[in-house]
Amino acid sequence: MPFKNGVELTELQNMKVPEDDNISNDSNDSAEVENGQINSKFISDRESRRSLTNSHLEKKKCDEYIPGTTSLGMSVFNLSNAIMGSGILGLAFALANTGILLFLVLLISVTLLSIYSINLLLICAKETGCMVYEKLGEQVFGIPGKIIVFGSTSLQNIGAMLSYLFIVKIELPSALKFLMGEEETFCAWYLDGRVLVVAVTFGIILPLCLLKNLGYLGYTSGFSLSCMIFFLVVVIYKKFQILCPIMETNTTTIIPSNFSSAPEYGCKPKYAILNSKTVYALPTIAFAFVCHPSVLPIYSELKDRSQKKMQMVSNISFFAMFIMYFLTAIFGYLTFYDAVGSNLLHKYQSKGDVLILTVRVAVIVAVILTVPVLFFTVRSSLFELAKKTKIELHHHVLVTLVLLVIINMLVIFIPNMKDIFGVVGVTSANMLIFILPSSLYLKITQQDRANQSQRIWAFLFLALGLVFSLVSIPLVIYDWVHTGDKAEGH
């Protein structure tokens, strides 16, 4: 069969492969990539050639290679923006219920574990050629894998939308009262947070969600990140302006109700705490760091992409967010100490304080404009799961209305932001950070004997995620059922 072998070798020599693809086989021989072509002198036998060819064809079945155009710096910005979210508002509450040292250990641990999980995800993307999370799950585990990935990413995005609308529910009434010149105690039905969140949803968010293309809303991501940086600057500034336990500003003196009703609260920092609310710390931190649904799209758009280059993007982004998260949490905690709430922004009184009002309005506008982007992702994933290639207008409108009604019902009845962070943190965040990347990696490399040490680490990573679920989920459910905490701002 010399002619057939010659044809196979010629076809293999002319085959173009992306720089990013990592082709491997079971033999000890290796293939070298030079100028996009495989140098055939390193291919020793027919089985090796067939393995390489089949591997390449398998990748082409998933996603066709398309060169990226986004620079490394812009990719860092995009991933940082994907990491940053409403979770930053709950980190001071997590710190208040763990102590400074324990919180720092947890924050460092989740940061490093998130970076490692993205590394596993990038390896899986290289081996399969998939640049869409749902397709990656389907490629490795079939339809069940696609459904699990869809459920995890959709729950994470829905949780983010809930937290954003919860900010509207809590913060918008205070901002409107200030603009109307009314006292904080002023009550009117149209200033009820539940009424306002419904009005904003169907007056602003719904028309944007009904559009078929929300690409231009990507510009709001930069504005959203700028708002959070502005929020951090104000948190640091207010630490040196507000005194504890009586918080004095240039225009008003405010005594938090927490201090009057709980004399055990003090103004000394605590370094290690264990109480009933400590269980929310790790889920809140995990929720704040989840960006995995956005990693592969950003990776696919990276110019001259490679795993090493995308890992650099990941490392820089997570380090920047680690610094920002820690500064926000520590200065927020040192301002209010034990009186800090699950929504740090709500602790700052905007009456007579234009700076705080400006932060409130900026964050409110940012989250309102961000909700349609997340909603568009969830709806698109839902249609893809249903294998709807051509979407009828009435289906588009009906699904949009039903999802928005469900989300609004949840926002109205969920009592506290910590419940959102807790439930989503122990479910979808845990799946996206720990369980899914490690499971995909172990399945893809199950025949790879050369990386047994890496497989052991991935197995331990998976076990850690499972232990986290088994321990955290029952505790969060127990606290959610038995504490009966009232919603902040009611």
Question: How far is the C-alpha of 285 from the C-alpha of 422, rounded, in Å?
Answer: 9
Give the model confidence (pLDDT) of 378-389 as tens digits: 888 888 787 766
Asked if residue 204 is part of any domain, the answer here is: yes
Residue 263 is predicted with a pLDDT of: 41
pLDDT higher than 50, residue 186: yes
Q: Which residues contact 33 (CB under 8 A, 6 or more apart)?
A: 17, 19, 39
Angle at Cα 42 formed by Cα 448 and Cα 38, nearest 5°?
90
Give the least confident one: 18-22, 202-206, 411-415, 439-443. Answer: 18-22
pLDDT higher than 60, residue 50: no
Question: How far is the C-alpha of 314 from the C-alpha of 112, rounded, in Å?
Answer: 11
Asked if residue 191 is part of any domain, the answer here is: yes
Q: Is the dihedral of CA 93, 96, 98, 104 positive or negative?
A: positive
Residue predicted with more confidence, 34 or 75: 75
Question: How far is the C-alpha of 463 from the C-alpha of 482, rounded, in Å?
Answer: 29
Q: State the average pLDDT over residues 467-473.
A: 84
Question: How far is the C-alpha of 133 from the C-alpha of 267, rounded, in Å?
Answer: 46
Residue 447 is predicted with a pLDDT of: 82
Question: How far is the C-alpha of 356 from the C-alpha of 374, rounded, in Å?
Answer: 27
Residues 68 and 300 sit within 8 Å (Cβ to Cβ)? yes
Q: Which domain, by its residues, includes 149?
A: 81-483
pLDDT higher than 50, residue 34: no
Q: Which token pair is 382?
A: 């839902």
Helix, strand, coil percent content, the chain, rounded in steps of 5: 75, 0, 25
Q: Which residues contact 110 (CB under 8 A, 6 or more apart)?
A: 282, 285, 286, 289, 433
Instruction: Calculate the average pLDDT of the chain.
Output: 78
As a whole number of Å, the end-to-end CA separation of the chain is 81
Give the model confidence (pLDDT) of 86-124 as tens digits: 788 889 999 999 999 999 999 999 999 999 999 999 999
Residue 480 is predicted with a pLDDT of: 67
Q: State the average pLDDT over residues 33-46.
A: 40
pLDDT higher than 70, residue 323: yes
Q: Which token pair is 134?
A: 């749902």
* Structural domain total, the chain: 1
In 10 A of CB 362, how many CB atoms?
A: 18
Residue predicted with more confidence, 196 or 86: 196
Q: Which token pair is 192?
A: 């009820």
Residues 72 and 313 sit within 8 Å (Cβ to Cβ)? yes
Give the model confidence (pLDDT) of 244-295 as tens digits: 754 444 433 344 443 433 444 568 888 888 877 788 888 889 888 988 888 8
Residues in the chain: 490
Q: State the average pLDDT over residues 52-67.
A: 52
Asked if residue 431 is part of any domain, the answer here is: yes
Task: Compute φ and ψ for 37, nearest 5 degrees.
Answer: -120, 150
Q: State the average pLDDT over residues 410-429.
A: 83
Residues 177 and 191 sit within 8 Å (Cβ to Cβ)? yes
Distance of CA 20 to the CA centre of its chain: 25
Per the rule left: phi > 0, alpha: psi between -120 and 50, beta: everything else, 129 is left
pLDDT higher than 60, residue 211: yes
Asked if residue 48 is part of any domain, the answer here is: no
Asked if residue 212 is part of any domain, the answer here is: yes
Distance of CA 46 to the CA centre of its chain: 45
Amino acid in the structure at residue 239:
K
Asked if residue 31 is part of any domain, the answer here is: no
Question: How far is the C-alpha of 275 from the C-alpha of 377, rounded, in Å?
Answer: 37
Question: How far is the C-alpha of 432 from the C-alpha of 369, rounded, in Å?
Answer: 25
Residue of 201, 172, 160 whose CA lies nearest to 420 = 160
Q: State the average pLDDT over residues 6-30.
A: 41
Question: How far is the C-alpha of 113 from the C-alpha of 409, rounded, in Å?
Answer: 34
Question: How far is the C-alpha of 452 from the C-alpha of 297, rounded, in Å?
Answer: 29
Question: How far is the C-alpha of 216 from the C-alpha of 239, rounded, in Å?
Answer: 37
Q: Is 221 helix (H, G, I), strand (E, B) or coil?
A: helix
Residue predicted with more confidence, 229 or 216: 229
Residue 252 is predicted with a pLDDT of: 39
Beta strand pairing status for 247-248 and 37-39? Answer: unpaired
Residue 314 is predicted with a pLDDT of: 94
Residue 218 is predicted with a pLDDT of: 55
Which ranges of 302-416 would DSSP assign to H, the alpha helix? 307-336, 354-385, 393-413
Residue 57 is predicted with a pLDDT of: 36
List 37's β-bridge partners, or say none: 34
Asked if residue 205 is part of any domain, the answer here is: yes
pLDDT higher than 60, residue 217: no
Residue 220 is predicted with a pLDDT of: 65
pLDDT higher than 50, residue 300: yes
Give the model confidence (pLDDT) of 114-167 as tens digits: 999 999 999 999 888 888 888 899 899 999 999 999 999 999 889 889 988 998
**Percent of the chain surpassing pLDDT 70:** 77
Residue 408 is predicted with a pLDDT of: 93
CATH of the domain at 180: 1.20.1740.10
Asked if residue 38 is part of any domain, the answer here is: no
Please state the pTM of the whole predicted model: 0.75
Residue predicted with more confidence, 25 or 324: 324
Q: Residue for token digits 């034990």?
A: 338
List 302's β-bridge partners, or say none: 70
Residue of 349, 344, 314, 347 whose CA lies nearest to 328 = 344
Give the model confidence (pLDDT) of 344-392 as tens digits: 888 887 667 888 888 888 888 888 888 887 888 888 888 878 776 677 8
